[in-house]
Structure 1
Amino acid sequence: MLTVGVEEEFLLLEPDGAVAPVSAGVLGVTDGDDRVRHEYTAYQLETVSGVHTRLDRLHDELADLRRIAARAAELAGARLVAAGAPPFRRGPLETLTDDPRYRRLAERYPGATVAAAGTCGCHVHVGVADRDLAVGVLGRLRPWLAPLLALTANSPCADGADSGFGSIRYEARRQWPTFRAPEVWADARDYDRAIEALISGGTALDIGGVHLLARLSGRYPTIEIRIADTCLSVNDTVLLAGIVRALVATLIDDIRHGRVAETTPSAVEVEDDLAAAARHGLVVRGPAVLHRPPGRPPAATAGHLRALLRKVTPALGESGDAVAVHSRLGWLRRHGTGAERQRSLLRHDPRPDAFVAALAGRTVPHPGRNC
């Protein structure tokens, strides 16, 4: 059984939607829980789960972490919100967390810093100790990144309106020079040489500044899949984690049995698929198809998602995750992705205070609520 862990990034917002740069105060009332940490800006937090083999236990810890962070945010006068980007306005560079490394990043990459400030992602770590094997998996992940992005798109709003994107976070983070899909490397030595070239050439500040959409973690013996927006609900996050773990297990099995990859898309094809996923998201509800905005085509990644699910179904059965994943996916098909749910909330009541309250209410799990 492969292990799995999750890092989730969150926004801290004022009730009127303005960013609330109060992370230092929030961390001051979490009783030293090192699973809740500061992030790039002072209006963000990150939570870090432990290592799990069971999705139900991962769910329980993620839910607990959201409750802890939300209570601390409330004491600091802010709302904890799970969205891939600030839905109203971002803070100035002065709201960067007072950390020497973050300051160096801002000085070296000012354009990327401004464009991507405040964007929030969900990073899933899957334990793979064999680095050569892990690098082989990275290359085979490339065609599956777009459906993972479409499934988890959760940043449709900017300046209080629908941006037209499912994930404006993806568009914003493309300003980082290393925010791209992994390549196909021969082995771990080849991967390490490529990473070192990025750093020595000034494309990345350090290993942590290599923002590949999937990479080997610089801290843990894991593959880190970084494509997803932070998810609106814990159930969305656990759905992602279950699919990602099953996908990694499947690709490991393919490599060990010498199976040829079904598809080997070029860099341009991968980028085109990712751009389409970020723009159009994934229409998973029948009614949403009827109310699609003019000029918005059906989501091409719907077919990719079906292919992904076919790919991982055997691994889900072997891990015992099939029921948990398919029940969550069924709920998502009925109620929409995070991006679709945000749009629905915005249409229902576009007032900033009402929208922020609705997002915050869906960020923190409550008994009997899945959304």
Structure 2
Amino acid sequence: MRTVGVEEELLLVDGESGEPKALSQAVLAMAAHDRPRDDAFEPELHRQQLEFATSPQEEMSALAQEILRWREAAAQHAKTLGGAIAALATSPLPVNPTLGNGPRYQWLEEQFGLTTQEQLTCGCHVHVCVDSDEEGVAVLNRIRPWLAVLLALSANSPFWQGKDTDYHSYRNRVWGRWPSAGPVELFDDAAAYHEQTRAMVATGALLDKGMVYFDARLSDTYPTVEVRISDVCLEPSGTLLIALLVRGLVETAAREWRAGTAPVPHSVALLRLASWRAARSGLAEDLVHPLRMEPTPAATVVEALFDHVRPALEDTGDLDMARALLDRLLRDGNGAAFQRSVYERGGSLREVVEECVRRTARGV
């Protein structure tokens, strides 16, 4: 069974005002003191955000427990410092982000200017193990059409600098300002993939391979495919669903590769349009069908994804769990829908943040 690991970026906010608060250094210091052998928490580009990474897990119940464990630990540390954590992909309230320390972040600010300053966004990255780079690239080629559906499911960033953006995932639009972000073309093999990333770094526009911000890529650290398109999900159950679907996509793609099934040859231009539609509409309107590339009701597209990965989910014993989590999400809506419902009831973005803080560490 393929192992799965999750990286989540969380927003640090003031416990009273709900405004983003630069607490990451203090939280990291507290975490290191309390659990010196645990290194789950990491700094991020801005001090108003915090990242944690789970260990690789085969069993999804264990992954769910670890996601909740680190969210709860982050919440406790932040509370001690007068703050809170919110699994929000962008801040609903206005913010002037504070850049983190270190030469890497300084280089980014010098090279990319306002783009760096504006990147206070929180995503969810899912790592699934692969047997080799060849298998990994074969997987990347075959999951491309389905990634936009993951974005629609996870969309959790309707507000930006105090305004409703009319998007469900405005984070995706902000993240796309990096020159290396987004979908990519098909690769003939692993050698072609590595040559492409090498050439990108050689332009001098990227600091290193860590800045190859493809929607899905080979990890430069682990023997995994890393799917990076999703917003951070409001509740742990949403994160678990995305992890289930990503493992299903990776396994399905690997099986197709071994069976000699060619990848769908969509152009990057079409994939970009599909991602834009997912970011704009979430689950509220039509999406672009991953295979036909035409407007299709969101529920139909989501079911197409589920049917695509069904055999893989059955083989890992995860089908019932994935079905239940997906049905719940389709019934209740994604994080963007929840945020807007709170705002429409009370008319306060501060209340939106408060409600999201409450939901961030809910049980699965």
Into which bin does the TM-score normalised by the smaller protein fall? over 0.9
In structure 2, what is the equivalent of residue 205 of structure 1? 207
Letter in 2 for 1:225: V
Task: Write the distance in 2 (CA, Å) between the matches of 1:47 and 1:70.
Answer: 12
Tell me, yes or no, if the aligned pair for 1:277 and 1:301 is still in contact at 8 Å.
no
Aligned runs of 1:83-232 on 2, under 5 Å?
A: 83-92=88-97, 95-115=98-118, 117-232=119-234
Q: Which runs of 5+ in 2 are unaligned?
A: 286-294
From 61, 66, 70, the equivalent of 2:71 is 66
In structure 2, what is the equivalent of residue 294 of structure 1? none
Please state whether the residue corresponding to 2:30 is helix, strand or coil: coil
Task: Write the distance in 2 (CA, Å) between the matches of 1:260 and 1:136.
Answer: 9
Q: If the length of structure 1 is used for normalisation, what is the TM-score?
A: 0.91
Instruction: Say yes or no: does 1:329 pair with 2:332.
Output: no
Letter in 1 for 2:315: E
Tell me, yes or no, if the aligned pair for 1:127 and 1:221 is still in contact at 8 Å.
yes
How much has 1:303 moved relative to structure 2? 3.2
Task: Write the distance in 2 (CA, Å) between the matches of 1:224 and 1:357.
Answer: 31
Task: Write the distance in 2 (CA, Å) between the matches of 1:105 and 1:300.
Answer: 40
Task: Write the distance in 2 (CA, Å) between the matches of 1:227 and 1:123.
Answer: 7
Aligned runs of 1:50-65 on 2, under 5 Å?
A: 50-65=55-70
Task: Write the distance in 2 (CA, Å) between the matches of 1:171 and 1:10.
Answer: 18
Moved over 6 A (4+): none
How much has 1:325 moved relative to structure 2? 0.5
In structure 1, what is the equivalent of residue 311 of structure 2? 314
- Label 1:71 to 1:300 Cα distance change in 2 as closer, same or farther (>3 A): same
Range with greater deviation from structure 2 (269-278 or 344-353)? 344-353
Tell me, yes or no, if the aligned pair for 2:184 and 2:268 is still in contact at 8 Å.
no
- Label 1:63 to 1:329 Cα distance change in 2 as closer, same or farther (>3 A): same
From 342, 348, 356, the equivalent of 1:345 is 342
How much has 1:129 moved relative to structure 2? 2.9
In structure 2, what is the equivalent of residue 22 of structure 1? 23
Task: Write the distance in 1 (CA, Å) between the matches of 2:349 and 2:340.
Answer: 13
In structure 2, what is the equivalent of residue 267 of structure 1? 268
Instruction: Say yes or no: does 1:240 pair with 2:237.
Output: no
The CA deviation string for residues 157-216 of structure 1, in whole angstroms up to 9 with x for no partner, is: 123342210000001011100111132111111111100111010232111111111000
Task: Write the distance in 2 (CA, Å) between the matches of 1:146 and 1:29.
Answer: 37
The CA deviation string for residues 213-268 of structure 1, in whole angstroms up to 9 with x for no partner, is: 1000011000000000001010000000000001100000000011233x321111
How much has 1:301 moved relative to structure 2? 4.2
Tell me, yes or no, if the aligned pair for 2:217 and 2:226 is still in contact at 8 Å.
yes
Tell me, yes or no, if the aligned pair for 2:201 and 2:209 is still in contact at 8 Å.
yes
How much has 1:330 moved relative to structure 2? 1.1
Tell me, yes or no, if the aligned pair for 1:82 and 1:360 is still in contact at 8 Å.
yes
In structure 1, what is the equivalent of residue 351 of structure 2? 354
Please state whether the residue corresponding to 1:271 is helix, strand or coil: helix
How much has 1:112 moved relative to structure 2? 2.2
Tell me, yes or no, if the aligned pair for 1:146 and 1:301 is still in contact at 8 Å.
no
Please state whether the residue corresponding to 1:125 is helix, strand or coil: strand
How much has 1:356 moved relative to structure 2? 1.8
Q: Which runs of 5+ in 1 are unaligned?
A: 285-297
Aligned runs of 1:271-290 on 2, under 5 Å?
A: 271-283=272-284
Letter in 2 for 1:280: S
Tell me, yes or no, if the aligned pair for 2:99 and 2:117 is still in contact at 8 Å.
no
Q: If the length of structure 2 is used for normalisation, what is the TM-score?
A: 0.93
Tell me, yes or no, if the aligned pair for 1:143 and 1:264 is still in contact at 8 Å.
no
Task: Write the distance in 2 (CA, Å) between the matches of 1:202 and 1:83.
Answer: 32
- Label 1:67 to 1:178 Cα distance change in 2 as closer, same or farther (>3 A): same
How much has 1:283 moved relative to structure 2? 2.5
The CA deviation string for residues 37-69 of structure 1, in whole angstroms up to 9 with x for no partner, is: 211100100010001011110000100000000
How much has 1:353 moved relative to structure 2? 3.6
Tell me, yes or no, if the aligned pair for 2:92 and 2:352 is still in contact at 8 Å.
no
How much has 1:300 moved relative to structure 2? 4.8
In structure 2, what is the equivalent of residue 12 of structure 1? 12
Task: Write the distance in 2 (CA, Å) between the matches of 1:299 and 1:83.
Answer: 28
Task: Write the distance in 2 (CA, Å) between the matches of 1:268 and 1:42.
Answer: 35
How much has 1:76 moved relative to structure 2? 1.3
Percent identity between the two aligned chains: 38
Task: Write the distance in 2 (CA, Å) between the matches of 1:348 and 1:205.
Answer: 45
Please state whether the residue corresponding to 2:230 is helix, strand or coil: strand
Letter in 1 for 2:326: L
Please state whether the residue corresponding to 1:29 is helix, strand or coil: helix
Letter in 2 for 1:279: R
Please state whether the residue corresponding to 2:359 is helix, strand or coil: helix
How much has 1:299 moved relative to structure 2? 6.9
Task: Write the distance in 2 (CA, Å) between the matches of 1:78 and 1:70.
Answer: 8
How many positions carry a matched residue from both structures? 350
